[in-house]
Amino acid sequence: MWSFSNPVNIQFGEGVLSRLPELLDGQNYALLTYDEPWFSALADQVISQCGVPVAVLNQIVPNPDIKDLLPLCQQLSEMPVQPDVLVAIGGGSVIDTAKVVAAAGEDFDRVYQLLTQGKGREELVCTPIIAVPTTSGTGSEVTCWATVWDSAHERKYSLADPRLYPQVALCDPSLTHELPEFLTICTGLDALSHALESIWNKNNNPVSSTYAVDAARIILNVLPELAADLNNAALRSRMMEAALKAGLAFSNTKTSIAHNISYEVTLRRGTPHGIACSFTLPYVMRSVSGENSVCDQALKAIFGEDLAAGSDYLENWLKDLGIKVQPEDYQYDPADWQRLLTSALAGERGKNFIGQGEALLTSYAV
Ligand SMILES: NC(=O)c1ccc[n+]([C@@H]2O[C@H](COP(=O)([O-])OP(=O)(O)OC[C@H]3O[C@@H](n4cnc5c(N)ncnc54)[C@H](O)[C@@H]3O)[C@@H](O)[C@H]2O)c1
Ligand SMILES: [Fe+2]
């Protein structure tokens, strides 16, 4: 028995952002984006078309951290009118921030209590969100969770609630045209990881698998081409479609061991999320191949019949994009790496892994 559900209204295509005024239909909105020139100009354009928002929350930095989220909610609390809807224009950090603000309303403590003590879910506000992704990576536009970092305590939390699925995802590939090469690669690798992680996952099902296989095949073909031809609008559109499909896949499965490994690497080494969650993929794939026929079938649909050759292909594909795949490249010696793998396997996402922990430890030991 299995089920699949995702309530997000997805609207996709070059220029689809122009539908925002119609979607808002005169409601009070708050606009969330980065405080960067390109995004400020985009915000001005949105405001001229949709009217003045009740607040512009633009103090958003990559990897939203508890220390940065509190002032945003405080800023909202000072507004005379609270928003009916939040419009998030940016990458995963902006959309995840919107989910935290949506859940907390003007009082960040609601979210803080839930994350740190597991208390007060019924207190969450859950203002509706319109998500406008400007990276092709996180899939946050179709998931109901937000990654919240606590760098001071070297912790990562996941805020998760079905009421936090965005109401609408406006996926406009033209918004990614200015994404530089390194961010294009990082975010594309995050999407690839979402696709593969939803396959070697205890929650995998036939629908998530269909999305995941399709997404992974597109990314393996398109990302190297796009990295060499950043102005190619057709490739930008394919990558946004792939990230969206990977998002749909893992919106029902969550991620798995590669993501659980990545959190410590990001917290301790500062490695960007997309690299931290993808440099282990060839080793994870080697360790899981042959373990489960459904998983094998999906991986063969992506990599061909010979999964050992497929794992080598994936490793070389990553290296060709400039990604280092050895733990030493991330300053982990063998003992420290085995410790990290063991603790990641016991983590929440690690427990979703369909493979054998021992096989993963061994794949690195040989
Ligand atoms: N909620 C989820 O399901 C989910 C899944 C994966 C990752 N995440 C989280 O998302 C965050 C990462 O998000 P991200 O990778 O999308 O990047 P991001 O939002 O952190 O942005 C990274 C940088 O990209 C720049 N940028 C974004 N769009 C741009 C554009 N169109 N043109 C030029 N520059 C642009 C931003 O200014 C920023 O400096 C992390 O915190 C990660 O943990 C969430
Ligand atoms: Fe991710």
pLDDT value at position 366? Answer: 67
Q: Where do the structural domains in the chain lie, given as residue ranges?
A: 9-175, 181-365
Q: Is 40 in the pocket of ligand 1 (CB under 6 A)?
A: no
Ligand with smallest separation from the Cα of 129: 1
Exposed e or buried b per residue across 132-162, where buried means at least 16 C-beta atoms within 10 angstroms of its C-beta: bbbbbbbbbbbbbbbbbbbeeeeebbebebe
Using alpha carbons, select from 141, 33, 16, 29 the residue that is nearest to residue 86: 29
> What is the number of helices (H) and of strands (E) in the chain?
15, 8
Q: Which fold has domain 9-175?
A: Rossmann fold (3.40.50)
Q: Is 143 in the pocket of ligand 1 (CB under 6 A)?
A: yes
pLDDT value at position 365? Answer: 81
Q: Is 145 in the pocket of ligand 1 (CB under 6 A)?
A: yes
274 Cα: distance to centroid of ligand 1 (angstroms):
9
26 Cα: distance to centroid of ligand 1 (angstroms):
29
Q: Among 183, 240, 266, which is best to mutate for testing ligand 1, by the most ligand atoms less than 8 A from CB?
A: 183
Using alpha carbons, select from 55, 54, 145 the residue that is nearest to residue 96: 145
Distances (CA, A) of 76 to 30, 71, 84, 121: 9, 9, 12, 20
E runs forming strands in the chain: 9-12, 29-32, 55-57, 85-90, 129-133, 145-150, 155-160, 168-171
Contact yes or no for 114/89 (Cβ under 8 A): no
pLDDT value at position 322? Answer: 98
Please name the CATH architecture into which domain 181-365 falls: Up-down Bundle (1.20)
Concatenating the DSSP letter of every residue in 183-218 gives: HHHHHHHHHHHHHHHHHSBTT--HHHHHHHHHHHHH
Q: Is 138 in the pocket of ligand 1 (CB under 6 A)?
A: yes
Residues with pLDDT less than 50, the chain = none
Atom index in ligand 1 nearest the CA of residue 62 equals 20
